[in-house]
Amino acid sequence: MSACEPDSSLVGSEQPATDPTASETDSYADPGYTYDAKLNNISDRFPGFKSLITAEDGKTTLVVLGGTEGAAARYNSSELLSYISETLNLPQRALEVATPRAAAARGAGQVPDFNVLYDIRNRVRNLLFEQRGVTSLDIDETTGRVVLGVESESEVARLRSLVSGIDREHVEVVVDPRAEFAIGFESQGARSNRISSSVGSSLRNDTFIPLLSGAEINFFFDPPGPRAGEASCTQGPAVRRSDGKYGFLTNSHCTTEYYRMEGIPFYQPALYSTIIGYEAEEQERRSCFGCSKGFYADVAFVQTVPGRDLYGRVATTNLENICSTDTGDSGDCRLDYMAGISGAGSYYPVGYDAFKTGRTTGTTGGRISRTCVDQSFALRGENQLEDDEYDVQLLCQNEIRANSAVATKYPLIKSGDSGSMVYTYGVPLGQQQVIGIAWGGNSRDSFFYSPWENIIDGQRAGGRGIPVVPITESQGIVRN
């Protein structure tokens, strides 16, 4: 099989023969499995479709069609909702056509059709995304704008002048700090030799049998640059690869070399203690039809060693357990409950409730605030990963932002939380769905993650996803 042929073993992949969203005049469209590409397809089929937003309950998805009641009546609502349900794999019972009042209340009143914004976004990505000072690019479907993020106010005027040649009315230039990875380099301190999976166990200092998503993992970090030594990240979801091998996911940057398979060992609870698995697969570096630095997921698969138990659960902590503050860490993060995983989910809209559990900040979350955001950032600086001076582009990433005063009391992500599983909140606990892998952020009250569809369906221009499915609680304990 050549490098550009689709891999038929990918789990849940559509495997299009050609990119259905791209054209001869627009080679910067996303592959068909991404969230914005899906919304663009809906918009093409149903003129007047604006966006999807989430109702105040944090669960119901509202379908925004237009600014008048008549616009919503142009289509058979059952046909429209059925198509959206099938396209995005969302339960139809959770979909509603938004009234103009409901849409306006959520900030999505009179906005252009989504396919109009999608076309503008692709032109901006093509012409401006690699400009100096650019940090992000997003379609804000609630305000009807394409938003270009820059590092500082000094860059705003310059980029606005360039934007005016594309679409001044629908493109906004704002300051959006450059995102950073949440890999941990700080001193790890003393570790216990306790083997435990009970309430009160330390996510940082104990060995978990079975392995538990949310606990610390360690590896020796020796990149081409000047930084080397012990590093820490967080174990993501337990998964089974299409070849039947078991393991877990974490970030690609939680390895010796970013997006390059090295087969390094991972340890718990400390470096050179007990090997729990070896890096077995990463998403490949690939072009994005013109920008050679584009990736759709920051993910690596770690295959666990024979006999090492895995379970489809994630650790949760609570706000009474202050794992981390703005001024420092408590040095510990205690298990409060193990929540079961029921499967994986994709294509959740703005406003949906979601959480992550990391070894540094514990369980934090809020609501999805941005979907399918392009992020551009350097692998240099305080947490530099490479010696070379170049930027990496993570395309179509999602952001979660704290949505209450309680949620903003503590940081949502800090160093060491890279690799954290992102999941929906289900009641009773045991209905959580994996929706992605957290990798970093650019503020204390938000974090970014690679969405699940990008992880498993990452094929593009010679690249490919990692063909895995999550281990569910109902499967019980599994091992290689």
Q: What is the pLDDT of residue 251?
A: 94
Higher-pLDDT residue of 382 and 147 is 147
Judged by average pLDDT, the poorest of 113-117, 258-262, 321-325 is 321-325
Q: What is the pLDDT of residues 21-66, one digit of tens each?
A: 334 334 567 778 889 999 999 999 988 888 888 887 777 888 887 6
Over residues 142-152, the mean pLDDT reads 92
Average pLDDT of the chain to the nearest whole number:
80
Identify whether 27 is part of a domain: no
Name every residue whose Cβ is closer than 8 Å to that of residue 457 and which is 6 or more positions away in sequence. 10, 12, 13, 14, 31, 33, 465
Mean pLDDT of the region 216-243: 82
Q: What local confidence, expressed as pLDDT, does residue 167 receive?
A: 87
**Mean pLDDT highest for which of 187-191, 230-234, 404-408, 438-442?**
438-442
Beta-bridge partner residues of 437: 450
Q: Is 359 helix (H, G, I), strand (E, B) or coil?
A: coil
pLDDT at position 408 is 59
The residue type of 67 is G
Contact 53, 351 (CB under 8 A): yes
pLDDT band at 468 (very low <50, low <70, confident <90, very high): very high
Return the percentage of the chain with pLDDT > 90, whole number.
42
Residue 207: per-residue pLDDT: 87
- Of 288, 281, 286, 312, residue with least CA distance to 466: 281
SS3 content of the chain, % helix, strand, coil (to 5): 15, 35, 50
Does 396 map to a domain? yes
pLDDT value at position 376? 86
Q: How far apart are CA 36 and CA 119, in angstroms?
A: 11
Q: For residue 278, how many other CB atoms are within 10 A of its CB?
A: 15
Question: Does 422 map to a domain?
Answer: yes
CA atoms within 13 A on the CB side of 181: 31
Whether the pLDDT of residue 315 is over 90: the answer is yes
Residue 247 lies in a domain: yes
Give 100-116 pLDDT, tens digit per residue.
666 666 555 567 899 99
For position 224, what pLDDT does the model report? 53
Reply yes or no on whether the pLDDT at 135 is more than 50: yes
Q: What is the pTM of this model?
A: 0.87
What pLDDT shows up at residue 74? 60
Average pLDDT over residues 397-404: 90
* Domain around 270: 181-475
Cβ contacts of 18 within 8 Å, gap of 6 or more: none
Beta strands 353-358 and 421-423: pairing type?
antiparallel
With respect to residue 371, please indicate whether it lies within any of the assigned structural domains. Answer: yes
Span of 40-44, 391-395, 450-454 with lowest mean pLDDT: 391-395
In a domain, 467, yes or no: yes
Residue 210 to residue 370: CA distance in whole angstroms:
34
Q: In sequence order, what E strands does 70-213 have? A: 95-97, 134-140, 145-150, 171-175, 180-181, 211-213
**Rounded Cα–Cα distance for residues 83 and 258 (Å):** 38
Q: Is position 90 within any domain?
A: no
Compute the distance between CA of residue 446 and CA of residue 76 in angstroms, rounded to an integer: 38
**283 within domain boundaries:** yes
Mean local confidence (pLDDT), 275-282: 94
Residue 137: per-residue pLDDT: 96
| 450, 299 Cβ separation under 8 angstroms | yes
Query: Which distant-in-sequence residues (6+ apart) come within 8 Å of 314 by Cβ?
Result: 212, 213, 214, 237, 338, 339, 341, 357, 421, 423, 432
The residues pairing with 433 across neighbouring beta strands, listed in sequence order, are 343
**Residue 133 identity (one-letter amino acid):** G
Cβ-count burial 46-83 (b if 16+ within 10 Å, e if not):
bebbbbbbbbeebebbbbbbbbeeebbeebeeeebbeb
Number of structural domains the chain divides into: 1
